[in-house]
Amino acid sequence: MNAQAPALSFSSSLLTGAEWNDAHVRELFHLATDVKAHPDRYHGALAGRFLAMIFEKPSLRTRVTFEIGIASLGGTAIFLDHANARLGERESIADVGRSLSRWVQGIVARVFSQEALETLAAHASVPVINALSDLYHPCQALADFFTLEEKFGSARGVKLAYIGDGNNVCHSLMIAGARVGAHVRIATPAGYEPNAKVVEAARRDAAATLGTIELFRAPEQAVSGAQAVYTDVWASMGQESEAEARAAIFAPYQVNAALMSHSAPDAIFLHCLPAHRGSEVTSEVMDSPRSIVFEQTENRLHVQKAILLMLLS
């Protein structure tokens, strides 16, 4: 094992993505590049480390990539299924954090409430990683911009259009985009805009990296000249009862060939998956040469391995 420790000091947890500045993100991407190119260098880097995984929501990519990630680094994942009894119902979140801290070296939590996640981190003495909450999905967005850097050489100055619901993925794309100096353009229906406080904070951070955060109503305006077009499901987990109503409202925001025609000629398409083909995106776009959704999926593994190395080493 020839792994090197991070050159920068990282915050103890990754809860929103805003904890890390542009230099931290650059360091993360540098490490993820090396992890991806030379995985053998990191075998055993986290030997003897245990990772508790608290999941209130179902998962394919997040669970598999974290479990494979920690195992490939020599550690062990302990999966805690909280789908039937949410975090804090059986015992207090504070006590869960205190207890787990006596046994494991890190906690990955995929939860509904950002508040629950932050309470967990406040009472745990080990790093807590947000694997998705109602407000943020930092691991996804970091992997997305890592993927954009692979495609364009640098994400600085890249125009990324996000079309659809102003949800957790949208929030994290703004935060990560601000860190790397990208131009993030968001188009949502009225009433489904991203959280105003997240927008304000991302714009403030983007000013330091010469990036921008713009909000639009018309998807064609956001996509115009964009080098990357991104969408997500119209109804997230926990919003199933709204799915039918949202389908009618979001129909004009479908990413299809007609909308992609407004983007740059070499624009690429991204989606965090799972995708509802025929709803937020057509199969024609999903399966086209422009689509890099499975490159994103692969890079979740490499970026999350780098996150684990940053926080658990």
Q: What is the DSSP track for the chain?
A: ------SSPPPS-BSSSTTS-HHHHHHHHHHHHHHHH-GGGGTTTTTT-EEEEEESS--SHHHHHHHHHHHHTT-EEEEEE-SSS-TTTSS-HHHHHHHHHTT-SEEEEE-S-HHHHHHHHHH-SS-EEES--SS--HHHHHHHHHHHHHHHS--TT-EEEEES---HHHHHHHHHHHHHT-EEEEE--TT-PPPHHHHHHHHHHHHHHT-EEEEESSHHHHHTT-SEEEE--SS-TT-GGGHHHHHHHHGGG-B-HHHHTTS-TT-EEEE-S---BTTTB-HHHHTSTTB-HHHHHHHHHHHHHHHHHHHH-
* Residue with token string 């999966």: 79
| Contact of 175 with 202, CB cutoff 8 Å | yes
| CATH class held by domain 140-296 | alpha beta
Q: Assign domain 22-136+298-312 to its CATH architecture.
A: 3-Layer(aba) Sandwich (3.40)
How many residues in the chain? 313
User: Residues of the chain with pLDDT > 70: what percent?
Assistant: 96
Can you give the pLDDT at residue 3?
A: 60
Residues forming CATH 3.40.50.1370 domain(s) in the chain: 22-136+298-312, 140-296
The pTM of the full predicted model, rounded to 2 decimals, is 0.95
Can you give the pLDDT at residue 116?
A: 96
Positions of the chain with pLDDT under 50:
1
Active site residue ranges: 110, 137, 140, 232, 272, 300
Distance CA(224)–CA(202), nearest Å, equals 22
Can you give the pLDDT at residue 287?
A: 98
Q: How much is the mean pLDDT over the chain?
A: 95
Can you give the pLDDT at residue 301?
A: 98
Can you give the pLDDT at residue 21?
A: 94
Can you give the pLDDT at residue 30?
A: 98
